[in-house]
Structure 1
Amino acid sequence: MTNSVKPCVLITGFAPFGGEKINPSWQAVQALEGLNIDGFAIHTKELPCEFDTSISVLQGAINKYSPHVVLCIGQAGGRADISIERVAINVNDARIADNAGAQPIDTPVVATGPAAYFTNLPIKRIQQALHQSDIPASISNTAGTYVCNHIMYGLMHEITLHHQNIKGGFVHIPYLPSQAVHHNGAPSMSQETVISALKVIVTAAISNKTDLKVTAGTTH
């Protein structure tokens, strides 16, 4: 294992999938490579949009950098704001095939794993910090059943078993405007706003040891 010279944050984005030429998650994440936020070095990694392989690549990056915080970012076309995921469930149920052609249906992410994992990020403080920065954000109670949920579950399983000092979680972002024009009526968010949001998220994640006790439930 290679230890970083200074404390660090690992942020991942995904390769394009589903016919898209770009993935806004990686477009934004790669812009943060090499930055220093509040004394934490930022390292980034592009993950393949593939079941199982994505988890292996993430595990390799965690072992390489020994981060204090891991943020996995993914695209959620149709969502209008920064969606901070609360929970990942132990199921793969792919509406479309991944980039390797795999389309698991009703299979577990980890055969012997629990039904779900909750993020250990201070998600409500993150939401508050984003709102204070005039960036639309909400707590999401479903990360779906595709590769995004898969990687969040895999991340939290890895943290639970081997890296309990790491804080980790997943954030969904909307389409970029250049994508939304091809999806009639779909909301979008500029890359500049997403990059700003990621910086706010990193700052909130590393500076808060406890979360707020405020409601962020949904009725739908």
Structure 2
Amino acid sequence: MSLDTPGRPIGLVTGSAPFAGLPDNPASDLLPLFDGREIGGVTLRCIRTPVSRARLPALNRDLAAEHRPVFWVALGLATGEPGFRFETTAINRVDFGVADNEGDRPTDGGPIEPAGPAARFATWDARALARGLLAADLPATVSHHAGTHLCNLNLYCLLGAMAAAGVTGPAGFLHLPYTTAQVARFLREGPEGGDAAPMTPRLLPSLPQETQAAALELTLTALAKAALITKETLR
């Protein structure tokens, strides 16, 4: 049962659990820093989501119905990404280069929802959000392709869940880079004699968690402002 205060607008922040054998994921590590906070008149509910093709769609439907969020941002890790990537588009396809955490690895490019639309589009202003980070000297870009793994599936399903619950407001998916702590660990824990493939990259693009938290706070502030403007317009 939801513990949200009736009448108080809720903003959802969901973050993917660690995957592909990694012990951590900035997408879920950021959540405790924001859960329960109020930003711009919106109370944040931050929830870690499973890296599971089977369970994620139903969970997203439940979250949309329970919280009826005025905005929703889902977070995920883009390995090797040098900055923040605001996604605009989710396609109705699954083709996993890496299995999910339950061992599911579809590789046929089949649909997420056989009867669903070919694509769904994020309802946030990705370009404005990216500009907001750039103005704060944080590297950010707009992306029109979230891939075909769980990040894409997550965006596709959360947008469908929002529509099914009859709630409007900005919603989208934000890809994060590795943290510097993660990359330092990759370097520390590499094979003693070096990688078998000399070109295997371990010194990867990354940003400190503090920088990622600052970027997320700016994004949530902008989303709260946009969501409340939308809410007032619809009254």
Could you tell me the TM-score, scaled by structure 2's length? Answer: 0.84
Decide which of 135, 139, 143 is 1:140's aligned counterpart. 143
Distance 1:70 1:132 in 2: 23
Match of 2:113 in 1: 110
Identity of aligned residues (%): 30
The residue type equivalent to 1:186 in the other structure is L
> Do the aligned residues in 2 keep the contact of 1:85 with 1:141 (CA within 8 Å)?
yes
How far 1:196 moved relative to its partner? Answer: 1.1
> Which of 34, 37, 41 is equivalent to 1:39?
41
- Show the 5 A alignment for 1:118-133: 118-133=121-136
Compute the displacement of 1:70 (Å): 0.8
Alignment-derived partner of residue 85 in structure 1: 87
Partner of residue 71 from structure 1, selected from 70, 73, 83: 73
Instruction: Select which of 93, 99, 115 maps to 1:97.
Output: 99
Alpha-carbon separation, structure 1, partners of 2:155 and 2:5 = 23
1:122–1:208 contact (8 Å) kept in structure 2: no
CA distance in 1, matches of 2:5, 2:62: 14
Larger mean CA deviation between 183-192 and 117-126 belongs to 183-192
Gaps of 5+ in 1: 211-220
2: distance between equivalents of 1:41 and 1:101?
35
RMSD across aligned C-alpha pairs, in angstroms?
1.7
Structure 1 stretch 57-66 or stretch 37-46: which is displaced more?
57-66
- CA displacement, residues 124-144 of structure 1 (integer Å, 9 cap, x when unaligned): 111111112221100012111
8 Å contact from structure 1 (residues 93, 103) kept in 2: yes
**Whole-angstrom distance in 2 between the partners of 1:166 and 1:104:** 32
Check the 8 A contact 2:19/2:51 in 1, yes or no: yes
Whole-angstrom CA distance in 2 between matches of 1:192 and 1:134: 14
Q: Which amino acid aligns with 1:158?
A: A
- How far is 1:164 from its partner? 4.1
Q: Structure 1: which amino acid aligns with 2:116?
A: G
Conserved? CA contact 1:15–1:22, under 8 Å: yes
SS across alignment from 1:180: helix
**Is the 8 Å Cα contact of residues 69 and 206 (structure 1) preserved in structure 2?**
yes
Match of 1:207 in 2: 225
- Tell me if the contact between 2:39 and 2:224 (Cα under 8 Å) persists in the aligned partners: no
Contact 2:97–2:149 at 8 Å: present in 1 too? yes
Asked if 1:158 corresponds to 2:161, the answer is: yes
User: Deviation at 1:86?
Assistant: 1.0
1:141-195 deviation line (CA, Å, top 9, x unaligned): 2111110100000011222333342321100000011222315131001111111
Match of 1:189 among 189, 207, 218: 207
Gaps of 5+ in 2: 187-200, 230-235
Query: Secondary structure of 2:148's match?
Result: coil
Aligned residue identity for 2:138: I
